[in-house]
């Protein structure tokens, strides 16, 4: 926006570049506003679309002589606010609009042209309700918002009904987010039911993880709605887990601890700084606004390895925690800032968070011969095909060494999706 004063003509002129409206929005009104002083008098506003033309005296004279629209105005008070004619926007909104203002007679009206009181066009739009979707922000973050809000934030809208699941806005393909696998249930001697999980940072092939950190945006790094099991012979990190004690204290394998790539202290270069683990060791959360556990880029344990995730699908990543949780209805939240190097050696850094509940993909489903998580006609046909002696085969559901009527009844009783 620029302004130009023609004092001898009792006129002022401005040019405004008006952006196109966001998709799905409707124009409500456009107002010329600003501050003024001097005489109280009437006047006229002239408007014209001037694509490609700059603010010059000949251009302003052309707008005055041949406007697209004009309207009367009464200059009074210390500010002004005037609604532009709707006829200016019958063909849409967007482009370069020139405004020429006149004061009647010999009256002297002073219009501010800088600071907070400078002339502005205020464009008010109403957005039609649209389904929200994932919006990728310049920082690499993701938010589920409506299209017009994403446009307003300068983001990239991924489409209606899309989500931020799977980190679609990651600025570096090296890091794909967090995943987990359920190791088992009731693996430790504890008065309460427990379940044990391994948490992984998922990486692209050839990439590595060097640090897991908490900052001012992610201070509660590891927490649960229940409490964490802590073995008296273990500690908060994998460097505290001594495998020589497993035979005497087998529950030590399933202590709750954080790590990078190791489940015990053997060949383990893990370090930590700035984290108070005392609450975690008492069964509570790990809170840190300025701390990290880390390895150096030369340590082999930061390289990705294969694992089976919570969806029973293969993944590639680095082990970052083993957690044993009390209460089958408890949930776990893991959030942190992650840093490592991609396959070319460039450093990447991304935040990630994950909420975990007990949903074991490995839960037994008798009768699901083909592992489809449903007992259906495919399993029934497999039973019929293998009918007879069949020791150790998958179709021998009851393990009696033969596929027979008892296996057929097992299929019928379990018919439908596995639960």
pLDDT at 128: 66
pLDDT exceeds cutoff 70 at 244:
yes
pLDDT in tens, 253-309: 999 999 999 999 999 999 999 999 999 999 999 998 889 999 999 999 999 999 888
Do 151 and 213 fall within a single domain? no
138: DSSP letter: T
Is residue 40 located within the same domain as residue 102?
Answer: yes
Is 203 contained in some domain? Answer: yes
Answer whether residue 180 is part of any domain: yes
For residues 351 and 400, membership in a common domain is answered with no
Using CA of residue 353, residue 357, residue 362, residue 366, what is the dihedral sign?
negative
Q: Is 259 inside any structural domain?
A: yes
Among the candidates 329, 356, 383, a domain finishes at 356
Q: What is the dihedral of CA 70, 25, 122, 151, to 10 degrees?
A: -140
The verdict on residue 70 lying in a domain is yes
Whether residue 240 sits in one domain with residue 95: no
Task: Kindly state whether residues 120 and 52 are assigned to the same domain.
Answer: yes
- My answer on whether 137 and 269 are in the same domain is no
Q: Examine residue 368 and state whether it is found in any structural domain, yes or no.
A: no
Based on the fold, state whether residues 225 and 252 are members of the same structural domain: yes
Residues 202, 349 share a domain = yes
Residue 93 lies in a domain: yes
Check whether residue 107 and residue 249 sit in a common domain.
no
pLDDT band at 7 (very low <50, low <70, confident <90, very high): very low
* Domain identity same for 397 and 300: no
362 inside domain: no
How far is it, in rounded angstroms, from Cα 412 to Cα 235? Answer: 49
363 is a domain residue: no
pLDDT tier, 1 (very low <50, low <70, confident <90, very high otherwise): very low
pLDDT, residue 406, reads: 86
**10 and 123 share one domain:** yes
The structural domain count of the chain equals 4
Domain CATH code at residue 114: 2.60.120
CA distances from 370 to 113, 140, 318, 400 (A): 76, 40, 30, 19
Structural domain that includes position 141: 129-169
Does one domain contain both 265 and 187?
yes
**Domain with 412 in it: what CATH number?**
1.10.1330
319: confidence class by pLDDT, cuts 50, 70, 90? very high
Among the three residues 356, 391, 407, which one is the final residue of a domain in this structure? 356
The 3-class SS string of 205-229 reads CCCEEEEEEEECCECEEEEECCEEC
């Amino acid at each position: 926006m620029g302004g130009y004063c023609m004092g001898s003509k009792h006129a002022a002129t401005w040019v405004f570049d008006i952006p196109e409206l966001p998709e799905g929005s409707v124009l409500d009104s456009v107002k010329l506003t600003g501050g003024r002083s001097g005489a109280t008098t009437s006047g006229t506003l002239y408007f014209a679309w001037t694509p490609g033309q700059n603010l010059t005296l000949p251009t302003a004279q052309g707008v005055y002589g041949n406007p697209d629209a004009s309207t009367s105005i009464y200059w009074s008070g210390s500010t002004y606010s005037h609604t532009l004619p709707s006829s200016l926007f019958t063909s849409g909104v967007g482009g370069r609009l020139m405004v020429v203002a006149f004061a009647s007679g010999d009256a002297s009206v002073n219009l501010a042209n800088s600071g907070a009181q400078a002339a502005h066009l205020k464009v008010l739009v109403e957005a039609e309700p649209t389904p929200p979707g994932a919006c990728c922000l310049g920082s690499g973050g993701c938010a589920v918002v409506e299209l017009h809000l994403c446009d307003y934030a300068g983001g990239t809208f991924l489409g209606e009904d899309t989500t931020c699941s799977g980190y679609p806005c990651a600025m570096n393909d090296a890091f794909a987010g967090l995943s987990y696998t359920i190791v088992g249930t009731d693996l430790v001697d504890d008065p309460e039911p427990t379940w044990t999980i391994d948490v992984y940072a998922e990486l692209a092939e050839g990439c590595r993880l060097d640090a897991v950190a908490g900052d001012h945006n992610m201070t509660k790094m590891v927490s649960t709605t229940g409490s964490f099991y802590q073995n008296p012979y273990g500690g908060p990190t994998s460097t505290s887990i001594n495998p020589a004690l497993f035979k005497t204290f087998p529950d030590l394998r399933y202590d709750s601890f954080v790590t990078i790539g190791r489940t015990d202290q053997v060949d383990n270069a893990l370090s930590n700084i700035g984290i108070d683990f005392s609450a975690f060791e008492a069964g509570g959360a790990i809170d840190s606004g300025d701390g990290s556990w880390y390895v150096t880029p030369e340590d082999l344990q930061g390289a990705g390895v294969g694992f089976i995730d919570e969806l029973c699908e293969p993944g590639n990543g680095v082990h970052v925690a083993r957690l044993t949780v009390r209460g089958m209805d408890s949930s776990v939240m893991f959030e942190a800032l992650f840093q490592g190097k991609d396959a070319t050696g460039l450093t990447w850094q991304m935040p990630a968070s994950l909420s975990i509940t007990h949903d074991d993909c490995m839960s037994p489903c008798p009768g699901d011969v083909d592992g489809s998580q449903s007992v259906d006609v495919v399993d029934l046909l497999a039973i019929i095909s293998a009918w007879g002696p069949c020791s150790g085969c998958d179709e021998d559901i009851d393990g009696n060494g033969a596929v027979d009527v008892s296996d057929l009844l097992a299929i019928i009783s379990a018919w439908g999706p596995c639960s």
